[in-house]
Structure 1
Amino acid sequence: MEFEFIGIDDLIDKLERTGHQVEQGKDEAVLEGAKVMQKATKERVPKLTRNLEMHVEISDVKDGEAEVYVEQQGKAYYGYFHEVGTSKMRARPFMGPAFNASKMKIERAIADKIRQRLMV
């Protein structure tokens, strides 16, 4: 008894291409989510001199992860003090609240980028 599957090779090729496209698009999707977080952080950062706002950065994507952070060198060194406070200054966090407020937008941006990549 023999079975012949017509089109199975095409299906396997398509599945392999789809997997490859998802893998390539993963870093792009993570970067898209990081951009949403960066924007949300810039909207919440204390804006007295705008130094903090100008120094909200995104790291390179590494192992499927990216970081949004305030550059600690130069004029924006005090971002950490705003986030966690000091013995003489109360905390005025902006990173944590920005993340909490934009979780759904971040997830949506990542999902949209992957969906877009799969349509190609």
Structure 2
Amino acid sequence: MLAAIRQKLGEGAQQLENKALREGGEIFAAAQRNSVAVSQIDHLHIRDDIKVSGVRSNDGDKFVAIGPGKKTGWRAHFLEFGTSKMPAKPFIYPSFHEQKARVAQFMASELRKALE
């Protein structure tokens, strides 16, 4: 499908791919925001710091990073994996697992629109 889009759109294909990746990432980010535990303490919560990065590339494969930013990222692993005094309350992997089919369908739909 990507080859057909690249042939049809040329340089515009990269913009379409990047847009689909970022919007798909936002679906994962929203799921993380909805499932992360929030304390009653008055500070920046992990939920309010979950971000989608710009499109990155590794060995030709494009991706976006999704998760807590630098301000709260150090705390996220405590929730995801637990500590010796606190059980795990994972939100990253469960959100990914629950939403991966939805994101795949969304991205395929966005790419199909370009072929029409």
Same structural fold, with TM-score higher than 0.5 when normalized by the shorter chain = yes
Q: How far, CA to CA, are the matches of 1:26 and 1:103 in structure 2?
A: 17
Q: How far, CA to CA, are the matches of 2:102 and 2:50 in structure 1?
A: 18
Residues 20 and 111, structure 2, Cα contact 8 Å, conserved in 1: yes
1:104-119 equivalences under 5 Å are 104-119=101-116
1:86-101 equivalences under 5 Å are 86-101=83-98
Other-structure match for 1:103 = 100
Q: How far, CA to CA, are the matches of 2:56 and 2:101 in structure 1?
A: 22
- TM-score by length of structure 1 reads 0.75
Q: How many residues align?
A: 104
Out of 40, 61, 73, the residue aligned to residue 31 of structure 2 is: 40
Q: How far, CA to CA, are the matches of 2:114 and 2:79 in structure 1?
A: 38
Provide, for residues 18-67 of structure 1, a one-character-per-residue CA deviation record: whole Å limited to 9, x for no partner. 45443331111111110110011111010224711101111111121001
Worse-superposed segment, 109-118 or 77-86: 109-118
Residues 50 and 66, structure 2, Cα contact 8 Å, conserved in 1: yes
Greater fraction strand: 2
Structure 2 unmatched runs, 5+: 1-5
What is the root-mean-square deviation of aligned Cα atoms in Å? 2.1
Q: Secondary structure at the match of 2:107?
A: helix
Q: How far, CA to CA, are the matches of 1:76 and 1:21 in structure 2?
A: 34
Larger CA Rg, structure 1 vs 2 = 1
User: Shift of residue 16 of structure 1?
Assistant: 3.2
